[in-house]
Structure 1
């Protein structure tokens, strides 16, 4: 199969847009990834034009395209806008991107895409039951995947714990802003993940985000009943998961 026949994944974030065709047999890029800056302002029409230009760099294909969005997505419509222009709220992104690119485009929440990728190809591959994938960054992204099936838009970073929005205390940005030691941060993470245990009784928790590269410094400090492991796909997860989602949704 040539790269033009593979589904295409686009990871759309507040500062950058990354895209590549994805080989779903291996869960890896089928050609070199392209990265461009997110336009300012990052309105739907501006971003759609960037997507059209990005896809034009690759041979035309009938394969579907998946796009991550940092917001809640229901049936292709964006319902929140984190780190992107508020004009996204209420936008039928599936329809907009399909028209702009001439490709069959399907949009998915960014954390959900990462979760799908980790379950299919990464740290949770081959694991049944309920897997919770969390990304610790500016906020806390989350994905619930049960026996390989995504439960979309699980905004578990916004659980109220001890009177606080969970991510305001336990995200990596909170660790940096408050200059917490790993031990201090681990105490907050333990409180957060224990709450997830109590609510969902997961079989596995996967921790992603850039800080997962330092997982050996904080994961051993967590006191949990559930197995918790670092993500393995890291910055590939969004692109890979988007392509996978587009294929299963098309």
Structure 2
């Protein structure tokens, strides 16, 4: 029986690294994001992942459309046993947190927190109705910013801190039913989103900011998602895992 995973934001960056790891491990993977199906990222992702992957256009802000997304995935692949809630947006404007505008704040939380919460809610309800003994899991990809302050992008940090609590809430609610819930906190990962600050952070990484002394790669996160999805970490449900080369470890 095929194992089915839904990865939001799976067409590029960290999400693509996760999707690639899952496909390699034998999963059929549904990718979902706001991008058009013919966008270069989507086309390239599907070429890379092959026939075990499919793409579905969906905006996390469309709460009413969450059920329809799952129905489309179920028609093509089957019931989703693994949700990787990875899609998110950065702060629209970096700058003094005293200057944040309400619409920018609402935009970030509307996707990173509100949209993610109700998508996970839909996934959880469906997972509880699944028959059979297949392991089921929800993994929230948050950020080290869930606990590390960046005052120039306060709304992003608030959204990730909220997502960390969201993961714990779902973990407690679903644990009696054998559904595992995890939180992954990536650090400085080399993706298109960080391309604009690459020189700045490369110098800081080389200067000791990251104890591992290298950029993180999308496959670093993908390698952790697979054992979670397989159920090999089932009794660790509720865990928050830093995937950051030691960045978040307090040091003097």
Structure 1 length-normalised TM: 0.41
Higher strand share: 1
Structure 2 length-normalised TM: 0.41
Higher helix share: 2
